[in-house]
Structure 1
């Protein structure tokens, strides 16, 4: 009896304070709020800087691109310098980026600020996992890991509610004052963290860093500019051409080749007994690779939806950021609660079952939205679709992260964090870029193919409009352009507005169906997720199989 009492006393004494987790939780909120605040501020930036919405989306892409390109290097910097020290430094840099956003005189400064924020996040992302591993153990660690997923969702809710209100009533710049306040709070709370000192023996593999960095940059730039530079033939906006071909697909090919070279170089370095930029044991089995694929797809889908809804509400409908926050509220609240609640199901269902079910939900939701959506996002059927998508998305983000953490030893916590950061931010950048290119491409095709159905729009009038640069505009903006820059009659203006409305809605519906197809395909990698329950990051893993959890459940 005394022995049991002593065990309980020791267990209680070993429980760490939750104060450090508050700082780490807010650090995740800081990064996610910053990203979510950009779509909310889309309309305000377009009006302030006088640029098209695709230019502002470049800032979103830039943030994700920089994080994805540098996060593996960031993990090694943290190991070498020490996680706590480097964490404080980069949080301060993130605060500086918020100041630059608040004072930005042009969209170029916004892009620069997001590049700085991305470079900071490249170290914050792996540090969250490493510092959780150093500060918490057992069930506390499992709870701490799950909190990161709910933090992303909470940041989304906060960005669309607080950010939407500020952007509507005060201005979009004040949205980023919240980012500054969060950064200061995280910096102060970082003094409650404990961590091992840096290891000067850790070396940064410069060759691997260049290969993966350039590969991700090439991939993202290629995907992001498919529409503006041309999918095959080079357009006027392309910076250069190769035998008349667009550089966008060439960049994608170069990116894929560089990423493959990164893996080849890393395997060679590992065989030689040298420390790689990232341990490939994180991808050691089909289960871990399935988790990475699933994470990429679900984050990409989330980014595409987060770009699409503000685009339609603020640009197409010409409504306020607060309207955007209300439209996104069902989705973000659902993601928040799903990310927290899904942890309770780990004791009942294996990741494979949860993952396949969740991707089934996101697929059904996107198909449903494609059929019921109108230019008004506040209809009950649309809200229901967003609710179902949020349940699947919130469950998946937390689930796949836990799978990766469970499968790796504590010593690889930084590598797990860097893989998570690379995957999520590359997926976010690609998801935003693909959504923009896809919707604009479909819109352009719809406009051109629908001209025959509107005989009021004569070839002479069409020749006065630059159909090579079709983009999303509101009805009011289209009317203004036609009335001021063309000799269109009132009936022709009405016909053009009707055509534009039809083309936009058709582009939205087809885009959602294509996203549903991607979600359905994701059920395949989800079927390869493990059947054991997620748990603590193991202190050590048997040398015979470094990819298995400490106590896996037997395969069925």
Structure 2
């Protein structure tokens, strides 16, 4: 049993780290601003650039997993991520934190995230694969659960820097036990098309950046009169230009396929209904999770004046429910279809939203608010238990990295939600 589940333990540890620092930073943001003598706007810029780094290079990171080997991509990405975490832990100012967190960690993540998804699918099959993907979802849930508490405790009584130092230790453990993860995929001896990389990076960066700026610039009507194009917000122009580049990217991929050359992304997988459904639902899950774990802590700290630990305790019901219902969703998968479980989770999000809207008062400390957070966590846990397996099971073994890259791109939306 130990050897059978060794791979998912290692990969879940890496997934834990991929999620942890953002939840820690969300409850620690005001303290980090004070420690580094910076501003909330500068911290939001760091979050924005982390998102843009992932958006720009996620598809490339997935393809490098095919070229280098998925386990090697995991190893290289883990090393890069650990270097970024160490740099962030020692950051004396916002510039160094930006380089360590937003740039170096982001580059490591674009290798690790697609590799995790592909290696889970490569190491497990049948119900074991469902369980393994649920474990990955639960690892994210645990990070979401303990992140605010760890961040709140360390920020209140020690320093937020210890969290990033701890991430270095966890990634070192992942590297130490890397050989328990099998890599059965064949390495591709191909030349990556540079034009495809440029087009995909530029398109995704423009689209994500445009959406990130909606709060500052507005969707259509400009909220800042000195920043407008032809009398309206720049957002539609930026997103529209990004959409044009994305269309050119798809044309380029089809041309490469016709010429018998390897594309950066086999666009045929996007026509798979199961993959589209899984990726779309993952996008919703990430968006809701990130929105709750960014907006709520900021409101609790900056508007209500709570410290980081009190903020973490207010969020704890959602965190606990997310972990518990990730486990429950896996057990239900033996009797219910993934579609039904995911649908229950989506209905649960609607219900939790109604409860949360009815709970808002000046303190957000009544039992209705706690119930709403618990229901939101339960719904997200059910989704987390199914969606990874639904997405990755839609493709063949030779397309696992590409599907992992597409799935990884949805993680950029969680940062977008936090910026709104």
TM-score, normalised to structure 2's length? 0.92
The SS at the match of 1:403 is helix
How big is each residue's C-alpha offset from its partner over 1:380-401, in whole Å with a ceiling of 9 and x where there is no partner?
A: 1000001111111121133222
Does 2:242 align with 1:218?
A: no
Which of 199, 202, 207 in structure 1 is aligned with 2:187? Answer: 199
* Pairwise CA distance, 1:407: 1.5
Which of 158, 161, 165 in structure 1 is aligned with 2:153? Answer: 165
In the alignment, what sits opposite 2:383?
396
How big is each residue's C-alpha offset from its partner over 1:467-498, in whole Å with a ceiling of 9 and x where there is no partner?
A: xxxxxxxxxxxxxxxxxxxxxxxxxxxxxxxx
Does 2:256 align with 1:274?
A: no
In the alignment, what sits opposite 2:322?
335
* Pairwise CA distance, 1:41: 1.5
The SS at the match of 2:183 is coil
* 1:444-463 matches, cutoff 5 A: none
Does 2:87 align with 1:105?
A: no
Deviation >4 Å, runs of 4+: none
In the alignment, what sits opposite 2:246?
259
Which range moves more in the overlay, 379-388 or 354-363? 354-363
CA distance in 2, matches of 1:18, 1:49: 42
In the alignment, what sits opposite 1:77?
64
CA distance in 1, matches of 2:188, 2:242: 32
In the alignment, what sits opposite 1:368?
355
CA distance in 2, matches of 1:39, 1:376: 19
Does 2:280 align with 1:293?
A: yes
CA distance in 1, matches of 2:185, 2:271: 28
Which of 199, 222, 242 in structure 2 is aligned with 1:233? Answer: 222
CA distance in 2, matches of 1:262, 1:95: 32
Which range moves more in the overlay, 255-264 or 164-173? 255-264
Which range moves more in the overlay, 334-343 or 225-234? 225-234
Is residue 76–residue 111 contact of structure 2 (8 Å, CA) maintained in 1?
A: no
CA distance in 1, matches of 2:316, 2:41: 24
Is residue 156–residue 308 contact of structure 2 (8 Å, CA) maintained in 1?
A: yes
Does 2:7 align with 1:40?
A: no
The count of residues paired between Structure 1 and Structure 2 equals 418
CA distance in 1, matches of 2:364, 2:201: 38
In the alignment, what sits opposite 2:368?
381
CA distance in 2, matches of 1:195, 1:288: 23
Rg larger in structure: 1
In the alignment, what sits opposite 1:17?
4
CA distance in 2, matches of 1:197, 1:95: 25
Q: Unaligned stretches of 5+ in structure 1?
A: 1-11, 435-556
Which range moves more in the overlay, 358-367 or 17-26? 17-26
CA distance in 1, matches of 2:290, 2:11: 23
CA distance in 2, matches of 1:346, 1:141: 11
Summarize the Cα distance change of 1:157–1:200 in structure 2 as closer, same or farther, 3 Å threshold: same
The SS at the match of 1:372 is coil
CA distance in 2, matches of 1:375, 1:112: 38
> What is the RMSD computed on CA atoms of the aligned residues?
2.2
CA distance in 1, matches of 2:235, 2:33: 25
* 1:28-177 matches, cutoff 5 A: 28-114=15-101, 115-177=103-165
CA distance in 2, matches of 1:172, 1:52: 17
* Pairwise CA distance, 1:127: 0.9
TM-score, normalised to structure 1's length? 0.71
Is residue 216–residue 223 contact of structure 2 (8 Å, CA) maintained in 1?
A: no
The structure showing larger relative contact order (alpha-carbon pairs under 8 Å, at least 6 residues apart) is: 2
CA distance in 1, matches of 2:132, 2:33: 39
Q: Unaligned stretches of 5+ in structure 2?
A: none
Is residue 69–residue 422 contact of structure 1 (8 Å, CA) maintained in 2?
A: no
Is residue 83–residue 198 contact of structure 1 (8 Å, CA) maintained in 2?
A: no
How big is each residue's C-alpha offset from its partner over 1:77-115, in whole Å with a ceiling of 9 and x where there is no partner?
A: 111112222322221111111122112222232222222
